[in-house]
Amino acid sequence: MNANHVGIVWNPSKTEKADLEAALPTQTGVDITWHETEEDDPGKSATQAALDAGAQVIIAAGGDGTVRAIAGHLAEIGSSAELGIVPLGTGNLLARNLDVPLNSLGEAMDRAFNGTAREIDMRLPSNSGHPS
């Protein structure tokens, strides 16, 4: 990770902030801000708040809905911020497809902070070929 500021967007219905803090690598060397999702907004506003605070990396800590909301917002606005995933749901489909460690906050956080970024297709689906 090549960033000075990481924004952690987390779903409080999945874990406690203290558990996430305890899972952080010991020497991150970056500023970290915390942004909670809300029941009626699974991540868009919190992601934007993290970006507005200067985050160059957004770590999505939650289930598939949280990750989808965060990734969708980053794609929608064309953000250059990197996305890290700390899977906390039952399915964790994207995390599984990317071989993100499951069932270990520490391993997932370590990968988010120290892993190598890779590009994935974030294009939003088009409606071409489908009647309106």
**Res 15 pLDDT > 60:** yes
Nearest to 29 by CA among 54, 56, 4, 51: 4
Chain mean pLDDT for the chain: 91
**Res 118 pLDDT > 90:** no
What pLDDT is stored for residue 89 in this prediction?
87
**Residue 33 in tokens:** 């801000």
**Res 32 pLDDT > 70:** yes
What pLDDT is stored for residue 132 in this prediction?
47
Q: Any idea which of 6-20, 95-109, 112-126 has the lowest mean pLDDT?
A: 112-126
The per-residue DSSP string of 52-120 comes to HTT-SEEEEEE-HHHHHHHHHHHHHHT---EEEEEE-SS--HHHHHTTPPPS-HHHHHHHHHHSPP---
**Res 13 pLDDT > 50:** yes
What pLDDT is stored for residue 2 in this prediction?
74
Under 8 Å between Cβ of 113 and 86: no
pTM for this prediction: 0.89
**Residue 9 in tokens:** 């967007």
